[in-house]
Amino acid sequence: MENNDLATLDGVGPAMSSKLKSAGLTTIEAIAVTPPKEIAEKTGIGFNTVLNIAAAARKSVGVGFITAEELWKKRQNMLKCSIGSKNLNELLGGGIETQAMTEFIGEYGAGKTQICLTLSVMAQLPVEKGGLNGNVVYVDTEGTFIPERIFQIANALELDPHETLGHIFLARAYNSSHQCLITDHLFKFCPENKIKLVIVDSMIGHFRGEYVGRENLSERQQKLNSQLHKLLRITEAFNLPVMVTNQVQANPAQFFGDPNRPAGGHVMAHACTHRVFLRKGGKGTRIARVIDSPYLPENTARFKITEKGVEDAQE
Ligand code: ATP
Ligand code: MG
């Protein structure tokens, strides 16, 4: 499906091809979906030349008008990664889907990281067993990735825990620019390492911590937006799901209902395909609610966190 031979593009010779590849643009699909300005900046190739290469790439992958029937066919390649809880899977129409970005929002302890950890094991299962049959990239911005938990979850699924750990590529992002650098690298890393799931936990933590105050808000939102759009392009270019976590922020103007709303404002809201809000329920259970999705109904599901990872809880 993916074409890695960039030299088949008009105007791309061996030298140009290696410049593109070392900038992380390893496939024709990646060139087709990356803004030309960004390609020029990353590769040092002149903007006009880039415009021609990008046009050739788009022609080659057929990015232009397609019929809705063709889109339907493309979406048949879509896969869903099971989360471990039947309730949660049903809520999400079968699991975390490829070609889309799914966001889990919630306060501390809501279970965001536990879902990420469970998914990074589940994604390795064969497709028949609800997995994606591939490796996982886990971008950890908070240092909460705990290998021992992977060990437990893998054991519960009767997988070899050491092998499971070996299929998770961890990137500890120390600040927001480091996080950006890692995202850029994914365009190269994902196709080279059979990555079938990308997790960013948390998407917003560093941005919130570094850009404090109203005067920095617009710069923060711009940077966050560019990150999110790169991640969206990765979902499309490599047919994989990106899962991000988000925190809540208190809205002091809200007198009725839940005063907590997702952080990241409109930028997060627009970029994420499916948004799922998590909150703590009674007796150690958790409640997930779809709050925004192009086709999933706004339902809720109850689950719990156990030694095995994420499991169903009784309604
Ligand atoms: P934060 O915003 O602080 O990152 P989070 O939403 O990522 O929060 P998690 O780390 O996913 O929160 O959830 C932590 C909770 O998971 C703990 O409070 C605990 O209740 C539960 N938990 C963690 N490990 C286990 C385990 N082995 N068995 C049962 N429950 C566990
Ligand atoms: Mg967490």
- Return the best residue to mutate from 113, 138, 141, 152 for the ligand 1 pocket (most ligand atoms within 8 A of CB): 113
Do both 98 and 198 map to the same domain?
yes
Using one digit for the tens of pLDDT, what is the confidence trace for 25-55? 888 888 988 899 999 999 999 999 999 999 9
Between strands 80-81 and 96-97, the pairing is antiparallel
Alpha carbon of 218 to ligand 1 centroid (Å):
32
Whether residue 148 has its Cβ less than 6 Å from ligand 1: no
Q: Report the predicted TM-score, pTM, of the whole model to 2 decimal places.
A: 0.88
Residue 14 domain boundaries: 6-61
Alpha carbon of 112 to ligand 1 centroid (Å):
8
Do both 305 and 227 map to the same domain?
yes
Do both 224 and 299 map to the same domain?
yes
Do both 165 and 47 map to the same domain?
no
| Residue keyed to tokens 């009767």 | 158
Do both 54 and 174 map to the same domain?
no
- pLDDT of 18 higher than 80: yes
- pLDDT of 239 higher than 80: yes
Average pLDDT for 274-296 = 92
Residue 111 carries which side chain, given as an amino acid letter? G
Give the DSSP H/E element, type plus range, for residue 118. Answer: helix 112-122
Whether residue 146 has its Cβ less than 6 Å from ligand 1: no
Do both 125 and 36 map to the same domain?
no
- What's the pLDDT score for residue 1? 44
315 CB contacts (<8 Å, ≥6 apart)? 302
Average pLDDT for 123-137 = 97
- What's the pLDDT score for residue 260? 83
Question: How many domains does one find in the chain?
Answer: 2
- Positions of E strands within 180-262: 195-201, 242-246, 248-250, 260-262
* Domain-located, residue 90: yes
Average pLDDT for 250-265 = 80
- What's the pLDDT score for residue 3? 61
Do both 183 and 91 map to the same domain?
yes
Using one digit for the tens of pLDDT, what is the confidence trace for 212-230? 999 999 999 999 999 999 9
Q: Tell me the two tokens of residue 315.
A: 């309604």
Nearest CA-CA partner of 260 in 238, 237, 288, 279: 279
Give the DSSP H/E element, type plus range, for residue 302. Answer: strand 300-306
- pLDDT of 63 higher than 70: no
% of the chain surpassing 90 pLDDT: 75
Q: Tell me the two tokens of residue 22.
A: 């070392």
- Return the best residue to mutate from 280, 305, 308, 311 for the ligand 1 pocket (most ligand atoms within 8 A of CB): 305
The rounded mean pLDDT for the chain is: 92
Give the DSSP H/E element, type plus range, for residue 32. Answer: helix 28-33
Whether residue 122 has its Cβ less than 6 Å from ligand 1: no
Alpha carbon of 251 to ligand 1 centroid (Å):
24
* Domain-located, residue 66: no
Torsion of CA 273, 39, 194, 150, to 10 degrees: -60
Which atom of ligand 1 lies at the shortest distance from residue 247's CA? 2
Which atom of ligand 1 lies at the shortest distance from residue 111's CA? 11
- Return the best residue to mutate from 114, 139, 307 for the ligand 1 pocket (most ligand atoms within 8 A of CB): 114
- pLDDT of 64 higher than 90: no
- Residue 75: CB atoms within 10 Å: 12
Nearest CA-CA partner of 270 in 299, 217, 229: 229
- pLDDT of 275 higher than 90: yes
Q: Are 82 and 89 in contact (CB under 8 A)?
A: yes
| CA–CA dist 286, 296 (Å, integer) | 20
- What's the pLDDT score for residue 74? 86
Whether residue 306 has its Cβ less than 6 Å from ligand 1: yes
Do both 125 and 18 map to the same domain?
no
Which atom of ligand 1 lies at the shortest distance from residue 106's CA? 6
